[in-house]
């Protein structure tokens, strides 16, 4: 079986520099790593609390490199090489950005890890500005189109930086998708998203229960 793709030099440097901070200052603890595929591409989906979420989500999986989307407004010419090197690419939020979708599918098919946040934006910001909406189906669409595992995860602590965490991450078993392949793509994406979001909420509840016991 082919080895996973190597991370870029900049991703390795950022991981090396941030690991001591995240592991010691923010006391990162991860569980459920046995559920994460060791080989091949997959989609990793989690709740979204902070712009820092990719770091505690990705560090336990290193040397696998996470790839994720950033809003196109941030994709400035001078920052493009940096964004590309750390595994990001632009997405036009609020639109059906087929180019971003196809990029995500290609990365997964090439054996990469595509990290996505079905909520679409940070939760606290969303709760301040609008009613809570259903999670977007784009995450499930990528996994279905790439015929790849859809791995749920949950994060806690990244929205409490001034309290120095702690950061907690839990990974769950891949969402069953085989029975959805071959069905109408829209219906399949909706059903897969419902399964995914149910599992993410279950993982969040587990982290909350463990936090109360600590």
Ranges of each domain in the chain: 9-213
Which residue's structure tokens are 């784009």?
A: 138
Contact between 93 and 72 (Cβ < 8 Å):
yes
Distance CA 148, CA 151 (A): 9
CATH entry 3.20.20.70 includes domain 9-213? no
* Global pTM value: 0.90
Q: How many residues does the chain have?
A: 214
Least confident of 3-17, 70-84, 123-137, 141-155: 123-137
**Mean pLDDT on 114-130:** 67
Least confident of 21-25, 33-37, 60-64, 146-150: 21-25
Nearest to 141 by CA among 181, 198, 93: 181
Average confidence score pLDDT of the chain: 88
Distance CA 70, CA 136 (A): 16
Distance CA 73, CA 93 (A): 9
Whether 130 has a pLDDT exceeding 50, the answer reads no
Whether 114 has a pLDDT exceeding 90, the answer reads yes
Angle between helices 185-213 and 138-146 (to 10 degrees): 110
Q: In sequence order, what are the residues at sequence separation of 6 or more whose Cβ sits closer than 8 angstroms to the Cβ of residue 4? A: 38, 39, 40, 63, 64, 111
Least confident of 117-131, 134-148, 151-165: 117-131
Ranked by mean pLDDT, the top range of 51-65, 82-96, 128-142 is: 51-65
Confidence of residue 197 (pLDDT cuts 50, 70, 90): very high
Q: What is the pLDDT of residue 36?
A: 97
What percentage of the chain exceeds 90 in pLDDT? 60
Q: What would the pLDDT profile of 39-56 be if each residue is shown by its tens digit?
A: 999 999 999 998 889 989
Distance CA 141, CA 186 (A): 8
Q: What is the pLDDT of residue 21?
A: 86
Helix (H, G, I), strand (E, B) or coil at 130: coil
Confidence of residue 12 (pLDDT cuts 50, 70, 90): very high
H/E stretch holding 195: helix 185-213
What percentage of the chain exceeds 70 in pLDDT? 89
């Amino acid at each position: 079986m082919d080895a996973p793709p190597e991370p870029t030099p900049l991703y390795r440097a950022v991981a090396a520099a941030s690991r001591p901070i995240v592991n010691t200052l923010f006391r990162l603890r991860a569980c459920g790593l046995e559920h994460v595929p060791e080989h091949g591409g997959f989609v990793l989906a989690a709740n979204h609390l902070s712009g820092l979420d990719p770091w505690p989500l990705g560090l336990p999986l290193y040397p696998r490199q996470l790839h994720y989307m950033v809003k196109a407004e941030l994709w400035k010419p001078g920052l493009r090489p940096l964004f590309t090197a750390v595994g990001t690419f632009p997405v036009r939020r609020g639109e059906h950005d087929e180019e971003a979708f196809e990029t995500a599918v290609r990365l997964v098919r090439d054996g990469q890890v595509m990290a996505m946040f079905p909520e679409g934006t940070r939760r606290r910001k969303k709760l301040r500005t609008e009613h809570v909406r259903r999670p977007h189906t784009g995450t499930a669409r990528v996994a279905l189109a790439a015929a790849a595992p859809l791995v749920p995860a949950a994060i806690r602590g990244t929205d409490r930086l001034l309290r120095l965490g702690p950061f907690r991450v839990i990974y769950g078993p891949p969402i069953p998708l085989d029975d959805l392949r071959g069905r109408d793509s829209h219906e399949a994406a909706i059903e897969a998203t419902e399964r995914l979001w149910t599992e993410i909420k279950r993982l969040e509840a587990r982290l909350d229960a463990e936090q109360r016991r600590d």
